[in-house]
Structure 1
Amino acid sequence: MRTIGLPTLLEQVHRPALEPKQLDFLSSAKQSGIATIYYSGDLGVLNQRAVSIVGTREVSDEGRRRARKLARELVAAGVTVVSGLAKGVDTAALSAALEVGGRTAAVIGTPLDKAYPAENASLQEQIYGEHLLLTPFAIGEATFRGNFPKRNRVMAAVSDATVIVEASDTSGTLHQAAECGRLGRWLFIMRSVADDQSLSWPRKFIDKPKVAVISSTQEILDAIEK
């Protein structure tokens, strides 16, 4: 883990905490037991449609390609790309969105002044400086593995939809999938994942309301614009 200490961040983390009721998207976080969300950056990125792109840290080359393509196409449609700043799918999606001038929001499982993994510190600095960084954890709170499901619940709450690009049966991404159902948010599963017979988790979600198996970005756009 790396500590972020740039003045712009330190100035912003001392702002009053953002109450979820102040934004329509974040009001759902209260239902998840998340009373306060801390932020750095521009809350305006959540004023337009927002879609989470999530998945495994150990992403395949094809999964990385899909995440990047999806992010670029969502940006072209004026959609904010949301992800979690973990290795793998998260990094691929956020990096691709930034490369084409898109708006991004990253939700992290640490306080705002910490970067995990450390290799994403520069990416995190770019996002909190020019876009939006969110966390349910206050400065000084300890970081545990158990923090990350809470991060996933926040991602589901601030997004109109979540897309799972690639995930195993034990992936933490499934916490976000479940939260989408509880909040009535769209959950999209890539066709390549749904058709993978080695996975059991897609079958647990496919027949639920507002869950769709997709092969194209347009299917996402059609659903969230209805």
Structure 2
Amino acid sequence: MDSIQLQALHYETLLKASKGAEAKASYAFEKAMEYSILNESLVLHAQTYAQLLGVEASFISDAYYEIRPHFDTMDDSVAILGWESPHWPRQVDSFAFRPRFLYVQGNVGLLSQCAVSVIGTRSPSLEGKQLALSTAQSLGKAGYVVASGLALGIDGVAHKAALAAGYPTIAVIGTPINACYPPEHRALQQEIAKAGAVVSRFSPATVTQKWHFLLRNRLMSALSDASVVVEDRDGGGAVRQAAFALEQKKYLFIYQSSVDNHSVLWPRQFANQSRVFIIKKSQDLPRVLNQAKKTREGVGKPRQKAVQLDLF
């Protein structure tokens, strides 16, 4: 087991021993780094770690022997990135809930390239599917990496459209890298791992929880220059990511067809916020995004007319 694997194993052990308290685990991990014991067997220093966490040494040993087998059997093709890794994506460093490690299968270099999230409902309309496909193709043609969350519906269409056209795509998942959700996308996940990259913030020992998918969306937004919500219901995961994108001062794109759909409220709630652009055609997306990045358009509250009409 190399140094980065050992460090990730130690962190996950501390997280387990602290009952999921990331602040406590991170504190103990950073102190262990100061003490220069991270690259040594954790059980040799169980008492030290226990004192740092404020638990009994048996908690550390029990957690270690539970976590260790998951790392021993991890696929050799999975790269572990820590904050000090040369391939660590620096664009996530300034945002809340920054993970201590990332697990990547595929081309780790894609994480540092300009990416755009293409996201939406798991039950899209025919128009939504067509928009997802053309959005992925337009972004890929313009040189952007297509990011999405491997979910059914819009996410799957976006990934498949990028792969079919030979464009790079990143799947940011809410499960460990050695798992797949939904199971129907297992083959798709494997294909993305070969042609693009699959990224998870969760170690192979993690038991997946529902709220992990919101952390997935936060990470996906942080890795992207912008998020495009193709189509979603009120309160859907893509809408949640839209809020994360604006919180992170990223750009948000919404289609005019969603704004015109009066069965949902979320598009009009976002429409007049800064960094939000309403577009009619997917072909306009790269041009508007490039212009926004170049001129800082969207900083401060934009005029609704300018966002909806003048840019097209």
* Correspondence for 2:172: 107
Matches within 5 A, 1:12-51: 12-13=77-78, 15-19=79-83, 22-28=88-94, 30-51=95-116
Extract unaligned runs of 5+ from structure 1: 1-8
Residues 107, 196 of structure 2: 8 Å contact kept: yes
Note closer, same or farther for the CA distance 1:208–1:32 as it changes in structure 2 (3 Å cut).
Answer: farther
Structure 1 position 222 matched with structure 2 position 266: no
Tell me how far 1:20 sits from its aligned partner.
8.6
Match of 2:157 among 92, 104, 120: 92
Q: Deviations over 1:32-57 (max 9, x none)?
A: 34333221111222343211100000
Q: Which has the higher contact order (CA 8 A, sep 6+)?
A: 1
Query: Does residue 210 of the first structure (1) align with residue 275 of the second (2)?
Result: yes
Change (3 A) 1:108 1:101: same
TM-fit CA distance, 1:18: 3.5
More displaced stretch, 98-107 vs 129-138: 129-138
Report the Cα offset of residue 69 of structure 1. Answer: 1.1
3-state secondary structure, aligned to 1:87: coil
The gaps in structure 2 that reach 5 residues or longer are: 1-73, 295-312
After TM superposition, the score normalised by the length of structure 1 is 0.89
Return the alpha-carbon distance in structure 1 between the equivalents of residues 120 and 249 of structure 2.
Answer: 20
Distance (Å, rounded) in 2 between the aligned partners of 1:20 and 1:193: 41
Code of the residue aligned with 1:199 in structure 2: it is V
| Alignment partners' CA distance in 1, 2:80 and 2:124 | 37
Q: How many Å apart are 1:218 and its aligned residue?
A: 4.1
SS at match of 2:171: strand
Q: Flag as ranges the 4+ runs of structure 1 deviating above 6 A.
A: none
Report the AA paired with residue 75 of structure 1.
Answer: G
Shift of 1:102: 0.3
CA contact (8 A) 1:152 1:176 kept: yes
Q: For 1:104-123, what per-residue CA distance to the aligned partner results, in whole angstroms no more than 9, with x for missing partners?
A: 11100000000111110011
The reply on whether 1:153 has 2:194 as its aligned counterpart is no
Q: Which residue of the partner structure matches residue 260 of structure 2?
A: 195
Cα distance change, pair 173–198 in 1 and its aligned pair in 2 (3 A): same
For the 8 Å contact 2:138–2:286, the answer to whether it is kept is no
Larger CA Rg, structure 1 vs 2: 2
**Residue correspondences, number:** 216
**Conserved 8 A contact 1:97-1:103:** yes
**Deviation at 1:224?**
2.8
| Higher strand proportion (structure 1 or 2) | 1
Cα separation, partners in 2 of 1:74 and 1:16, compared to 1, 3 Å? closer
User: Following the alignment from structure 1 to structure 2, what is the Cα–Cα distance between the partners of residues 212 and 77?
Assistant: 18
Aligned to 1:4: none
Deviations 1:160-219 (A, max 9, x none): 110001100021112211111111100001111111111111122111110111112343
Aligned-pair identity in percent equals 37
RMSD (CA atoms): 1.8
1:132-168 residue CA offsets vs partner (Å, 9 max, x unmatched): 1111111021112211111100110001110001100
1:12-31 Cα deviation digits (max 9, x unpaired): 33x43333983232324x43
